[in-house]
Amino acid sequence: MRFAHYKLLRRTAILIGAASALVLGLPAAAQGTATLVGASGTTCTYSQMTVQPNGNISISCNNTSGNPTVGLSGPSTLTVGGPAGTYQITRNGDTAAITVNYSVTGGGCVNVPSTAVAIGASATSGSFTVSPGTLAGSCIVAITPPATYVANPSTVAVNVSGSVSGPPPPSGCPTPQAGYQLQTLGWSPNPLELRLDSGVIASFPIPAPNTSKVSVRMTQGQQQMSPGDGISEMSISKCPGVIDTTNTSCYSKTQNGNNYTVSPDAFTKGVYSFTSQTTLAYRGCWAPASEGQWYVNVRWTYANSCYGLACGYSMQWLPGAY
């Protein structure tokens, strides 16, 4: 047994020495590259090593599934106001042209729709960029492998750091919560997949109605990073970064916000006989644009994180009832 083990080591040493001698013996212009076939990183346990005619060394990594692979890599941190991050999709074990879908979810990064990167025949990689949002937060960059491919790794968790630079609070408003997040959300058919740490307030400036109605409402629905427990609060006021519970017509609180949640209607101007909070009563919150900018302030309180990250919901504006 010891003799067989010695012979195996001797053969391995001869093989590696022969490959090294072949590469080192080539002119500088003919020096090749070492390619890890089937690896998701820069190292792997290998099952085969061959020296190609052009001097390249091809190392076949162990792949338990036997399928070709695609792997995602890129920065795990971005900075508000800083440059975009470049994310690389590397494939191994195949040479056919493929398309790899990717997605970016979470309020920390610029909200981009799921899209794709094309990797041409014989090419080994493709890339795309993700920009940090205007406020601190986090996001998940993910790829979906083509059929017959294995993704390893398939996601990168990104933390976006930076300071909040919201407007100063209007006269008469209390000091906003430290670290509150001022969000930009206009009228769009695509919801914002927002994520917040538990207890942090996000403030959404109320837009002008995009229909003949005078009232608008904020909707909150499930996404893949929604928490399984907790409380959702929505407060309409002129004060960003503040949850005001004093006016029950402008405040809502929902146990377990996993379900579809709607803020009170914000009336941006009068309609019919509704020209004040008194005349509106329970129908909604008096938030006339003539008095300046109003906000929907949102706060989620939950006990457990989502896969070790901040949880969240899909946020969108809809016309109100009037």
Specify if 14 maps to a domain. Answer: yes
Determine the pLDDT at residue 28.
Answer: 40
Other beta carbons within 10 angstroms of residue 293's beta carbon come to: 12
Q: Look at the chain and report how many structural domains it folds into.
A: 3
Q: Are residues 226 and 101 in the same domain?
A: no
Residue 309 lies in a domain: yes
Query: For residue 37, how far is the Cα from the chain centroid?
Result: 29
- My answer on whether 94 and 209 are in the same domain is no
Tell me the C-alpha distance between 123 and 45, whole Å. Answer: 23
| Distance (Å, whole) CA 15 – CA 126 | 33
Residue 174 counted as domain residue = no
86 and 16 assigned to the same domain? no
- Mark whether 130 and 82 lie in a shared domain: yes
What Rg, from alpha-carbon coordinates, does the chain have?
28
Judgement on whether residues 205 and 299 belong to the same structural domain of the protein: yes
Within 10 Å of residue 126's Cβ, how many Cβ atoms? 20
Residue 245 belongs to some domain of the structure:
yes
119 shares its domain with 85: yes
One domain, residues 303 and 224 = yes
Between CA 220 and CA 259 the distance in angstroms is 8
Q: What is the pLDDT of residue 7?
A: 40
CB-side neighbour CA atoms (13 Å) of 305: 7
Q: What is the residue range of 31's domain?
A: 2-61
One domain for residues 103 and 209: no
Per residue of the chain (322 residues), what is the pLDDT tens digit? 444 444 433 444 444 444 444 333 434 444 455 555 444 445 565 655 666 555 667 665 655 557 899 999 999 988 877 788 999 999 999 999 999 999 888 767 875 666 899 999 989 999 999 988 766 778 889 999 999 999 988 999 888 876 555 567 788 899 888 778 888 788 888 888 888 889 989 999 999 999 999 999 999 988 888 888 889 999 999 999 999 999 999 999 998 655 677 899 999 999 999 999 999 999 999 999 999 999 999 999 998 888 777 888 989 999 999 9
User: What pLDDT score does 236 carry?
Assistant: 97
